[in-house]
Structure 1
Amino acid sequence: MRIGIEAQRLFRLQKHGMERVALELIKNLQVLDKENEYFIFVKPDVDNKVISSTDNFHIVEVEGGAYPIWEQFKLPKLAKAYNCDVLHCTSNTAPLALKIPLVTTLHDIIFKERSVLEQLTSSASWYQKIGNLYRRLIVNSIVKKSERLITVSNFERQNISKIYKLDNNKIQTVYNGVNEYFKAVIDNKTKAKVKQKYNLPEHFLLHLGNTDPRKNTARVLKAFYMYIYEFTEDLKLVLVGLNQAKLSTILKSIDLEKELSDKIILTGYVADKDLPVLFGLSELFLFPSLREGFGIPIIEAMACGTPVITSNTSSMPEVAGDAACLVNPNSTENIYEAIVKVRSDKNYKEQLTEKGFTRYTKFTWENTAKKVLGIYQRFNHNNI
């Protein structure tokens, strides 16, 4: 077979969830499949060493304009030019004019659950807002056009099937995984280097913040303030993914700018290879998101031996199992109580850590690649 994989943003320096998933899938397919021919369609960018061509994997760099233009006009021509038997689009959208079978990974349909007005007036970046609007315009047609849909949790599969009234045979759950460099034992030299690089304090809790309101950063900040106010500890909150301007906006909105200004460490963007050190050095990982399609950081933190507080909503209980402290993400009080419980009950904290070590091993990128390869093989005419 000749298999095309859309990975337009794979080479951008600051990768987010969907690019990381596409990268891990491709790397594991390279190890797993030596027979089929692959064409990985990417847009040129600075981080072009993350993956290399092999005998049957060809990296095809294609210049283009904005994401929709590249996807709608360039990508179908590429699939035709390289005589692909099937095209896999990895990030929720796909070209409408494609003439060959289409497989689409629909990570989630969060963009459909909020009104257009709500998205336009939210604190999300304009890049996020435009992306959400593009998805709202196109995904209905892509769902109908796709021969197969992949999503990342059973929760999301049921959600998508219900919204789009799909036959369950058309959509398949393929879980995400954990990279092998997420591990509990990291050498002291690496720890010291990363600690200095991001100005990490001795004692801290970790939260992956975001301008997207669903990451629930405002309630995390309020719960953290309640904790340090009650226990008067020398404890910091390390925030990944927020700049000072965005943080100030959030702190002003919850009237805690003065109280928390010296209690928060901002790391900015953290490279994937540095994330395991941040997880490992933190005393607790706070991930009480309002909504996730999967929630990769949950299992990454577990792999690093870090106890996790996450939400009892959407996909998070499915991913975390009984290896995390589950909270109502809409309750600041509940998040605060969870912090107290994990930090004050040593036995409970150790139980979470041990259960986390077992839980994360259920999610591997090798299994992801095997399942996706099985989906590709359905389009192999030699098997029909």
Structure 2
Amino acid sequence: MKIALLTYSTKPRGSVVHTWELANALHHLGHTVCVYALDKGAASSPQHEEVDEIASPPHRQLACPMRLIPARPAPDDIDGLIQQRIQEFVAALQQESDRYDVYHAQDCIGANALVQLKERGQVHHVVRTVHHVEDYESIYLQQCQDKSIRLPDLCLCVSDRWQQALRTDYNIDAPRVVNGVDQQRFSPALDGSETALKTAYQLTGHPIYLTVGGIEPRKNSIRLLEAFAQVQAQQPQAQLIIAGGATLFDYQPYREQFFQRAAALGIMDALVLPGVIPDADLPGMYRCADVFCFPSIKEGWGLVVLEAIAAGLPVVTANETPFTEFLTSEQAILVNPGSVEQIAQGMLAASEPKRSHALVEQSRGILARYTWEKSAQMHLQAYQSLVHSH
């Protein structure tokens, strides 16, 4: 099959990483794949620049071609930004001479662009993966999200939680596909980079707690911060790394509240806030940590949790779907994400050597069920059903 995959960024977020890994897996199964990605760094580059394994995309090597679509400076308001990003996709795809059997978007932006092109008869067989559904305040964003779910030819999802939500709220039966993890990339085996990483990021404490995803409301960052303050009262040398955070949305008021709270708690010196770290550093960053903390209140699935497990870390996460779809209380410490005390107790428990070892041993058993090859095969089955049905 010929498959076009669309993603809104070249920065590593869950759906972006999902796109990269799915593209590689489909390519290795013998299919023709091209990734189309909005990229701020491509604004001055040729619009149809093809990136191969040598000239890799900014954060991950791909085995298949990639087109970087210039994401030009946009209005400050989020409605205007999203509208512009959709039209950048539309303009770029209109000029493409290549045609594909399936056009697959991982997000609202790409899906809206494909829906516009489908309505003009310029593309066929539009697929959208709904990783999760947002509660937008903006009427325009609500409408964009609604169109991106209702109007494609096929919706997919990555968890039972969102499969049920699409059935209940949209009357859509969305086939479920799995996420995966590259166990060669994410491994507990030290590769020699850890000492340099600890020096570069000033990781001098013990234990070191890590979360990936940045500072934003749905990551539950402020409660995690308050829980860490309780942890540090018992573990004065502890550090908390909050890595990542590339997003289209401006969470500045929440971030300001976070930093005000950190200052009031007197724990700023124990925080490591590197922002988006180079993708090559991420596997080593997991290995530098002692516990992975992810008390998120809304996730499509939680890809970083699987990466942490593959890297040999004990996990503290929310006792809610989608995490409870693939983790038991023997495989992770499951906490009420609304309780600062429970999060803190979970962090302390996961740092105890005996409990940590047991969690790591139990959780590694799930890895075989989540591979990108299995994910690609499930996608292909859905693609082929769609094409044959038309």
**TM-score of Structure 1 vs Structure 2, range by shorter chain:** 0.7 to 0.9
1:83 aligns with 2:99: yes
Query: Which residue in the other structure is 2:241 paired with?
Result: 238
Retained in 1: the 8 A contact 2:216–2:255? no
Distance 1:260 1:102, change over 3 A: same
Q: Quick one: which amino acid aligns to residue 15 of structure 2?
A: M
Aligned pairs for 1:1-384 within 5 A: 1-9=1-9, 12=10, 14-34=11-31, 37-43=32-38, 45=41, 49-50=56-57, 58-63=65-70, 65=72, 66-75=84-93, 77-78=94-95, 81-92=97-108, 93-95=111-113, 96-97=115-116, 98=118, 99=121, 100-109=124-133, 111-112=134-135, 115-116=137-138, 135-166=141-172, 168=173, 171-179=174-182, 180-187=184-191, 189-203=192-206, 204-208=208-212, 210-229=214-233, 231-241=234-244, 249-252=257-260, 254=261, 256-257=263-264, 259-322=266-329, 323-344=331-352, 346-380=353-387
Task: Give the alignment's TM-score, normalised by structure 1.
Answer: 0.81
Question: How far 1:281 moved relative to its partner?
Answer: 1.9
2: CA distance between counterparts of 1:72 and 1:25? Answer: 23
Distance 1:43 1:236, change over 3 A: closer
Retained in 1: the 8 A contact 2:181–2:370? yes
Question: How far 1:318 moved relative to its partner?
Answer: 1.2
How many pairs align?
348
Question: How far 1:272 moved relative to its partner?
Answer: 2.5
1: CA distance between counterparts of 2:294 and 2:145? Answer: 28
1: CA distance between counterparts of 2:22 and 2:334? Answer: 29
Retained in 2: the 8 A contact 1:242–1:268? yes
Q: Quick one: which amino acid aligns to residue 168 of structure 2?
A: K
Structure 1: 5+ residue runs without aligned partners? 117-132
Retained in 1: the 8 A contact 2:37–2:68? yes
2: CA distance between counterparts of 1:271 and 1:330? Answer: 31
1: CA distance between counterparts of 2:185 and 2:140? Answer: 34
Q: Quick one: which amino acid aligns to residue 185 of structure 1?
A: A
Distance 1:78 1:176, change over 3 A: farther
Retained in 1: the 8 A contact 2:215–2:255? no
2: CA distance between counterparts of 1:343 and 1:350? Answer: 9
2: CA distance between counterparts of 1:26 and 1:209? Answer: 22
**Aligned Cα RMSD in Å?**
2.8
What are the Cα deviations for residues 255-314 of structure 1, in whole angstroms up to 9, with x where unaligned? Answer: 743511222122222222212222122111110011111001111111111100000123
Retained in 2: the 8 A contact 1:321–1:359? no
Residue 378 of structure 1 aligns to a residue in which SS?
Answer: helix
Distance 1:380 1:68, change over 3 A: closer
Distance 1:303 1:53, change over 3 A: closer
Distance 1:274 1:251, change over 3 A: same
Q: Quick one: which amino acid aligns to residue 220 of structure 1?
A: L
Task: Give the alignment's TM-score, normalised by structure 2.
Answer: 0.80
Residue 355 of structure 1 aligns to a residue in which SS?
Answer: helix
Identity of aligned residues (%): 24
2: CA distance between counterparts of 1:6 and 1:215? Answer: 25
Structure 2: 5+ residue runs without aligned partners? 43-50, 73-83, 247-251
